[in-house]
Chain A
Amino acid sequence: MNGDKIPAGAAAAFAAVALLVAIALIGPWATPNDIASLDWAHVAAYPSLTGAHWLGTDRLGRDLFARTLEGLRVSLAVACVASAISLSVGIAYGAVAGYAGGRWDHFMMRFIEVLSGLPLIFFVIFLTVIFGRSQYLLFFAIGAIGWLTMARIVRGLTLSIREREFIEAAVASGAGAGRIILKHVVPNLMGPVIVYATLTIPQIILFESFLSFLGLGIQEPHASLGTLIAEGAGEMEAAPWILLVPGGVLAVLLVCLNIVGDGLRDAVVGRE
């Protein structure tokens, strides 16, 4: 941090994200309705704060508040796991390429270049089709997309860290390459890397809901924000709240996460 304060907007956005996470985690105990039970007396009911269903129900009489919270939880969980995957793979790959340098670096970066030229979305669609629609695969498929940029960033940082004195000192004291990367290079990468990771989280959430919207992600009776939006889009004219509730939550979450990421980046990397 070079003394810049985190801007007020980013702080407010962070508070909003924290609030959403808290609601998502506490929610199941705060609402009497669960995600799958059908209330045939209230099918596609309007949202009402005094009724049994605060945010209304969907076409099957399922409580929209409970389902939106479930969707939010799933989206956040996917984001955490997938960004952890892309973070660890990206750091490992980038740090090795940057530290090894020379021909290895050239070859490894060339590989990344080729991969990022591919239309990866097709391969994710393929993968979900081939291996069935398992949630674990979803995590990996989404994480697999994020690591390319991360590896590039880490490699760039490693190239400059490699030239610093403390690395030379470590080499002189006889540490091996693996030890140097783990103990000396990676800890010094973490600041900027965490910042870029916050920037990738909204992208991952967006991608997961995109896949779920297409019917390739989370399956019934579980819900992600993407599946809820897909459901709502079909009911738009008769019952717009089925679309607006999950759509609004996803929009607020993504906007806030983007603002937090931008704010962190400005604070750490420095404002233009």
Chain B
Amino acid sequence: MIRHFIKRLAGALPTLFIIITAAFFLIRAAPGGPFDQEQTLPPEILANLQTAYGLDLPVWAQYGRYMGALAHGDFGPSFKYKDFTVTELIAQGFPVTLKIGTLALIVALGLGIPLGAYAALHQHSAGDHAAMSLAVVGIAVPSFVVLPFLGLVFGVYLHWLPVAGWEPGSARHLVLPVIALCLPPLCIIARMTRGSMLEVLRSQYIRTAFAKGLPLRVVILRHALRPALVPVAGYLAPAVASIMTGSLVVESIAGLPGIGRYLVQGALNRDYTLVMGMVIIYSGLLIAMGLAVDLLYAWLDPRIRFGR
């Protein structure tokens, strides 16, 4: 188990390295540069700026410098946000993004699994049909439609919650963005749980458990739920990816000071270091999630052996 985990970890680092390298050369291949402005700079100033940021070096040398600094945990200075390093920008915004992302994931799991289990236990009931119809809607309608709509209803018309904005420590500002973010993964998790739960309930050992006279609650919680959650665990990494991409738009609609806006803005502004920082954060998170899922698998279903 531990050996397997170390092996996966050793496999993940080259992946991250390849992603960083590919992103570095891709963004430099883009036409234009970080100092393109509406007013063109005098050539001397441009040359000075380029030297100051090391942009006059050949790309390979820039790559070497960047990777060297990165090895020391230095993401470099931002090109557009003068006086800020990428590390500072990320340190400011990341807690916000992490907060709404984590909350969305918790809500998605905390409501999706019981909902799916309920639907499976009451298959073909009105509740099952209602839950699964709602799930189709939740999967299909994107967060950038859901969030403005919720803002319109609960913010503009009902005045229950703020439409947008952010106050440190205010939970009210987080409600709508978190709902919009968690909805698609929540619905997918509910459907998955329902499907795998139905399958598990038909297996021999569940019949045995019932035949022993165990009450329903014990059969579900102690015998059925854990194996039924294996596919859900497999979906965790895609769920995190979906929440991360969702946060790109949700943050901009809700006016949250997270890091979501930096990725697109940074790419459009050719803010090389900022984009790189974002790619590293996001792909690092995804890869870490993949590793965590591996561990979770082994705990959920001991039949899964990581041989070979």
Residues on A facing B (Cβ under 8 Å): 114, 117-119, 121-123, 125-127, 129-130, 132, 202, 206, 209-210, 213-216, 226, 229-230, 232-233, 236-237, 240, 243-244, 247, 250-251, 254-255, 257-259, 262, 272
Contact = CB atoms under 8 A, between A and B. Distances in A.
Given A117-B287, A125-B264, A129-B268, A237 B163 contact: yes
Given A119-B282, A202-B140, A236 B29 contact: no
B253 interface: yes
A237 B15 contact: no
A102 to B, nearest CB: 17
A189 B137 CA distance: 30
CB-CB nearest 5 A-B residue pairs: A254-B140, A130-B30, A247-B145, A255-B140, A233-B148
Dominant SS at the B interface? helix
Given A233-B253, A247-B145, A125 B263 contact: yes
Contact of B248 (A127, A214, A240, A259): A214
B285 to A, nearest CB: 9
Contacts of A243: 148-149, 152
Contact of B199 (A117, A126, A233, A272): A272
Contacts of B278: 122
Contacts of A247: 145, 148-149
A145 to B, nearest CB: 12
7 contacts: A119-B19, A119-B244, A206-B142, A209-B142, A214-B249, A226-B144, A251-B145
Given A117-B15, A122-B263, A123-B26, A236 B282 contact: no
A216 to B, nearest CB: 7
Nearest to A126: B26
Main secondary structure on A side of the interface with B: helix
Contacts of A255: 136-137, 140-141
Given A117-B290, A214-B264, A243-B148, A258 B30 contact: no
A112 to B, nearest CB: 14
A119 B137 contact: no
Given A121-B245, A123-B22, A243-B152, 12 more contacts: A122-B23, A122-B282, A122-B283, A125-B267, A130-B30, A215-B264, A229-B145, A233-B144, A236-B163, A243-B149, A250-B142, A255-B136
